[in-house]
Amino acid sequence: MKTSLVMATYNGSEFITEQLKTLKDQTRALDEVLIFDDKSTDSTVQIVERYIDENNLQNWKIIINSTNKGYAKNFFDGMLMATGDIVFLCDQDDTWNITKVEKMCEIFENNLKINVLGGSYKANISKNLSLFPKVLYNIHNIFRKRDGKTEKVALRANEGYNMPGWTLCYRNKFLKDRQQYISDYSSHDGLLWRLGIASDSLYKLRMDTGEFRRYNGSTSSFSKNQKDNEKNKNIQVYNAEKLIKATEIINDYILQNNLTKSKVGKIYKIRVKYLNDRMLYLRNKNLLQYLSIFIRYNRYGSVSRWYEDFRYVISK
């Protein structure tokens, strides 16, 4: 079973060397490492090139984009270039447990029902992180499960993601057979999560696969298109519209695969309605509409989303 790793980088010079070392030191070596840099303006590319050269990593390659794509398209393009049977996703500023590749490959080899696999993590919490996420990540660190078991991930009404993109790996054929669902509306990990859930083949390894670095300003890239959208349109509404489109794409997948009567199909039907109704209070910044929709759909929104929406609605 051949393995590939796809990493997206953008101005990651501060932390990337530490991450590269944890990839190199894996107990099961990666067969292909593809690093896609989104036109960094710092020394990220030079650091990666030097690391590859100094460690004679002949199966590692860095590709520098000719234009700034943004993190999602950077990942998607890289994922479609990967040649391994199992593809691992990787961010530039986290660190991996050195047994991650070995353990997750064993699970794929022993369970053909699994198409997408994620894992637990420990949050590496920066002192400069704002209070609300700092509290949430500390709670996560206390209650996360680390018993080494593998469990199927069931769809919750709020579609709450509890595995960051860098913990995910997947069967390459699974995505390439469904690449028509790739769009500008969904992140790479969000699409994998949704397709995995809809196909009943998303699983979680209850073992720390690494440390998730949490700090203000962490990102894999910030595209020019996203900057322009922030200037021309309120980012809260813009992101809400993207989420509607991403959810509708999975609804199309559900329809095309005759899954409308399944639990996933029923939940997604209501989710589309909830997300469209949510736009009412976001566009109008109306607190009464917010409260009305919260009463009707409270289990369909995550705690953090309801919190951010409330802050937005009451802001001037």
Which CATH architecture is the domain 3-214 placed in?
Alpha-Beta Complex (3.90)
Instruction: Give residues with Cβ within 8 angstroms of 146, minimum separation 6.
Output: 120, 206, 207, 208
The Cα 165–Cα 212 span in angstroms is 10
Tokens of 203: 């699983």
User: Which tokens hold the place of 183?
Assistant: 């769009």
Residues 73-96 have pLDDT tens digits of 999 999 999 999 999 999 999 999
Give the strand pairing for 3-9 and 86-90: parallel
- 8-state DSSP, 214: E
CA geometry: angle 200, 164, 311, nearest 5 deg: 110
Structural contact between residues 280 and 286, judged by C-beta atoms closer than 8 angstroms: yes
pLDDT tens-digit map of 241-256: 999 999 999 999 999 9
> What is the pTM for the complete model shown?
0.91
Strand partners, 170: 87, 116
Q: What is the pLDDT along the chain (316 residues), one digit of tens a residue?
A: 999 999 999 999 999 999 999 999 999 999 999 999 999 999 999 999 999 999 999 999 999 999 999 999 999 999 999 999 999 999 999 999 999 999 999 999 999 999 999 999 999 999 888 888 899 899 999 999 999 999 999 888 888 777 999 999 999 999 999 999 999 999 999 999 999 999 999 999 999 999 999 887 665 433 444 444 444 458 899 999 999 999 999 999 999 999 999 989 999 999 999 999 999 999 999 999 999 999 999 999 988 899 999 999 999 7
d(CA 151, CA 149) in angstroms, rounded, equals 7
What number of helices (H) and strands (E) belong to the chain? 12, 9
- Cβ atoms 106, 222 nearer than 8 A: no
DSSP sequence for 96-150 = E-TTHHHHHHHHHHH-TT-SEEEEEEEEEE-TTS-HHHHHHHHHHHHH---S--E
Q: CA quadruple 204, 23, 141, 136: dihedral positive or negative? A: negative
Name the residue ranges covered by the structural domains of the chain: 3-214, 233-314
Residue 217 is predicted with a pLDDT of 65
pLDDT of residue 219: 52
Both tokens assigned to 197:
């859930």
pLDDT of residue 220: 41
* Amino acid 304: pLDDT: 84
Cβ neighbours around 128 below 10 Å, total: 10
Q: How far apart are CA 269 and CA 62, in angstroms?
A: 41
